[in-house]
Structure 1
């Protein structure tokens, strides 16, 4: 029982072991099957991936047999994949002989040396481009030194490469042209490295910095632009690169010894560097300066105009207004600090009462704003509420702005009204003149005339209303001119006044016996004035005056002969009387008693006095007749005055007077006739002696005075006698006195003062008498 149980247990254990072994075997087989299936799926996936890959494998064994998918045959244009490498060329399709030989040689070299190779092949009759990359195959793939060649179809890449090669060639050409263009550019251009160092400059840059060549300029890092505000051109370029924005500035550059304005630009080119160029804008700056100077001069000139001028830009903003415009429209300086728009300007002008009254001002303002879009100049007259009349001219300018001109014509209208009044006044004045007046234009036509002109020449008003030509006028008056009197003289006077601008005159006799005097006078306006005066009566008076003048000339000749004869007839007897008296006084006729000697002395004294009176009378007569001869001697004034005082010392003493002589050598000397000048000053002293009562004082002062016209010698004779009033003083100078009848005048018996005045004036001097009743008289003589 135990044995059986043991056997059963053993059998059970054996069966269990067998069952376990069978289960394990089944599981192991199942795992292997699944692994195999997985490997097959992986192999199919890899094979499919190889088939779908852009590269096709070609396995070349050591004996020349090949393995490859069908796609390779399709790429090569073959029906099937051949068995050997040498069969890839069938003479019509596949690789050509040269390409196959190269491939065979490369495969053999790889199989021997394991060196990879690359080549490019193009099948016959195809545009497909194949790239072959070969290397020694892994022993797991194919033992025995097989070569694995991967074939790539890069037809599309080749087209891209060709296109890229063409574009590269074109780019190289463009770059060459660009470099040539930059080199030939007339403005300096350069290229900098990212750190700002110069790497490339063109010929204009080299010429601007006066360098020997581009390489030398780059090597020396010669900068075209000087440092500005402590920053060099290199630092500015680095700033442009860091900011990744172009920097443009205007600086002054010295080129060929001249300072020129240039616009310098630095352009960052990413990480490649910074490009730069400089444009010479000196001519533009000079043009700008000239334009600004012209604009300033124009605006300064506009400020001097009497008319107001304003400029509005395309935005209708006031950009300029001269002072007359500001004054006309009441624009204050505060308003000009912020120039108004055109509409606002009209509002300001309306507030100041400088625009016409309008029922609908907004509509009126919109209408005026249309001036900006107008194609022609507008002109309007603005009557203002205060009586001012403005002439407004609105001229659109090409830039869309507006030029506004305002002219105050109030005064002009007032002057026009005054002119009309003056014309009417002139016409009335012409008609009231005693003379005949006519005005002729430069073309010879009569413009104006008065009624007297028509009456003097006997012309019809209808004829004058046609404004006849001077030739037609001469034809009319020729019939009224006396025989032998040419009327052409009147036309010559008109032509001389209008064309030659000369004043001429003449006379013409008329057939009715009248005599007309005419004159042509040029007028400032270019016209000529013909004046005609009837001088018939004055001619008669002139004839009478000529006859009277001839009689006066004859009387003057008689007076001259009388003076010459009187000088002889008076002096000869007087000389004889004086000579005989001197003989009697000398005892030639016998000894005289005391009474006889007194009589002879009285005769000699009377002879001297009469001789002096005759001399004075002759000098006065000759002076009034203009025949007084004067000698020119040098006269020292102070000795001259002393001699005059000594000659009258006895008379002064007998009259109980005192003489005060003042002066010194500073009085100087004058040139004159000593004898006649002594007579003139002597007469003044004699009159002072005669007019001064006993105990009186006479002053004789000689000095040199400086007037506004130069120095003069002054001789003053004054006394403290009874003096004279104004009427007596005037008559004393003229040598006249009132006659006894109280109505007529007669020559004074004394000729001293008139003779003294005549003698002083004959020397070019003046005599002035100053006198007051009871205060005395002063005679002031001034001689050059």
Structure 2
């Protein structure tokens, strides 16, 4: 083989030149490398790219991270967020990702009609690492500004916000620092258009539907919007927020609230008018035990001044004022009684408080406590002095009548129309040797009394006739007869009808000189004319 010096020199020169060129390229690459970048993506692409190890995010381009919600930027939470974004643009993308293990590569385009500019999705699985790329098919690569996908995300969010405000059923508007309306949603503009005439047009700045308060710190207020003679006025709760650049306001419909409040006021007026005609004093305390409602009768019965009652006194203050007016029973230990107000409150709250107050003035009050909804408490005061007087008078009359009957020598027993023993005197107890109420039973029927008489006398048919006489309906005539007691004494019996179907039985010993005392009594009786 012949050595060629020229060829050898050329090879040496070529090698040196190649080495220099390699060093130069390496220097250029080192200069273009982003300093301090922890990402494996060396430059921005034309779309969003993600690298997953299984479903754990390893890295993503800035454009990719901009597509994800702020709450899922790292770790396993990224994959569900990415799928949520893709499913809105690529039909069946979740099912296609399940086939990536076998296919290795996934290519999809966005659904027709959902995007003004189509998107391309590419996913590739290599060595257990999945690379997902989302590309804007038509947009050229931009060296400056936002990448196309970020612009698309901003555009989508802006469209959603515009749709939300446009479809909001309540007026929303923004005011400049000087109070001019510089922006409004569709509902606000509809209300403005209703107030404009046929030949009027919208002007700038927009007309004001609601007054601008002098105090801009007032966050909430209620205003009425007049809508013309043929339409019903509307009420709104205005919620306002702002800073030095301007204010945002929201008008929440309040027609239902105003209607409910008006109904409540009307109901309270009706109750007040109704309570005004009651003779029973009424005091209603709320859950904090403050007086919220009372009627004029309470003033008349308690003697409390209207000024005190309108100041909404507490339950304790209410009873203290009544004590000063001597309208409660004066206790021996007032401090102890005042502590018992808590017991009164608890008893009334459970619906078990009812007492009769006998006042030093001679009046008698019936006090009743009843629970009301939401923890309220109602006390009623009723003057029952006349009722108590009638009861005492009736009781006195009964006692007097009983005293008169006890003063009679003859034994007397009175039965009602139903055949129940209602009265007997002391002579009766002495003659028959028993107290009818205690010995015969609670019912005290004429049958039970006649059975006792049968046991205490010789056999006779008089007691059968007595039972028939007491049960007889219609006109009856007085009759009498004689019976002999077990000790041999002879008793004269007289049975007389009384008003209302009642029956009176009278018993008296026969004289000791009578011939009948020496003969056995046969049980015969005769009518007395």
**TM-score, normalised by the number of residues in structure 2:** 0.49
Q: Comparing both structures, which one devotes a greater share of its residues to helix?
A: 1
The structure with more radius of gyration? 1
Structure with the bigger RCO (C-alpha within 8 Å, sep 6+) is 2
TM-score, length-scaled by structure 1: 0.36
